[in-house]
């Protein structure tokens, strides 16, 4: 089990270590013990969550929400990357003019120059956009196969 854990979660994922999970559960249960309004993770939250995951309507609602989140985050990312590229192009010249002088107002030697391999930049953006669109399309296909009841739909 330890070897599988190390393969799935390398050392960089310290929050997923068994000790961290045990500490989280212990702190949660301490909070539930100190405050009656706080539900117990082991006695109340996990059994209800397990039962919800067994319910097909819950899974369909979860899939619908996840689909909308994925589409929204994809659109935000596309607008953000596009806006960042446009602003970088517009403001790059302005920023370089400030960097052309040293602290005494003399010309900086050597002059600053930003060199960007545009082919690599464009290919990275295209791969990023294609990956997000592929994930959104795959998720959309999977969630459309689920029969979501009309009560759970946002739009018919």
On the question of pLDDT at 132 being above 80, the answer is: yes
Number of domains in the chain: 2
Whether the predicted model's global pTM rises above the 0.85 cut: no
Exposure string for 46-81, b = 16+ CB within 10 A, e = fewer: eeeeeeeeeeeeeebbebbeebeebeeebeeeeeee
Q: Are residues 68 and 88 in the same domain?
A: yes
Percentage of the chain surpassing pLDDT 90?
6
pLDDT band (50, 70, 90) for residue 74: confident
Distance (Å, whole) CA 89 – CA 93: 8
Among residues 120, 108, 115, 119, the alpha carbon closest in space to that of 92 is found at: 115
Grade residue 117 by pLDDT with cuts at 50, 70 and 90: confident
Same domain, 130 and 149: yes
- Whether residue 149 sits in one domain with residue 74: yes
Residue 13 neighbours by CB distance under 10 Å = 11
- Could you tell me if 48 and 62 lie in one domain? no
Boundary-marking domain end, from 10, 28, 54: 54
Contacts of 143 by beta carbon, 8 Å cutoff, 6+ apart: 63, 64, 66, 67
Per-residue pLDDT band at 56 (split at 50, 70, 90): confident
Residue 110 reports pLDDT greater than 70: no
Domain that holds residue 75: 55-156
Instruction: Quickly state the pLDDT bin for 29 (edges 50, 70, 90).
Output: very high
In this prediction, residue 47 carries a pLDDT of 92
Summary mean pLDDT of the chain: 79
Give yes or no: residues 36 and 71 share one domain: no
More confident residue, 43 or 101: 43
Query: Which of 41-50, 89-98, 123-132, 137-146 is predicted most confidently?
Result: 41-50
Identify the residue with better confidence: 106 or 51: 51
Residues 133 and 123 both lie in one domain: yes
């Amino acid at each position: 089990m330890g070897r599988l854990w190390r393969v799935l979660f390398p050392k960089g994922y310290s929050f997923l270590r068994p000790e961290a999970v045990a500490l989280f559960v212990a702190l949660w249960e301490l909070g539930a013990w100190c405050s009656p309004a706080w539900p117990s993770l082991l006695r109340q939250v996990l059994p209800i969550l397990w039962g919800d995951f067994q319910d097909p309507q819950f899974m369909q609602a979860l899939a619908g929400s996840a689909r909308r989140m994925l589409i929204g985050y994809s659109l935000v990312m596309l607008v953000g990357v596009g806006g960042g590229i446009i602003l970088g192009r517009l403001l790059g010249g302005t920023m370089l003019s400030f960097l052309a002088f040293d602290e005494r107002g003399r010309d900086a030697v050597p002059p600053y120059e930003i060199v960007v391999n545009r082919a690599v930049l464009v290919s990275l953006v295209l791969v990023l956009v294609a990956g997000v669109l592929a994930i959104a399309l795959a998720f959309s296909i999977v969630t459309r196969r689920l029969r979501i009841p009309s009560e759970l739909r946002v739009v018919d």
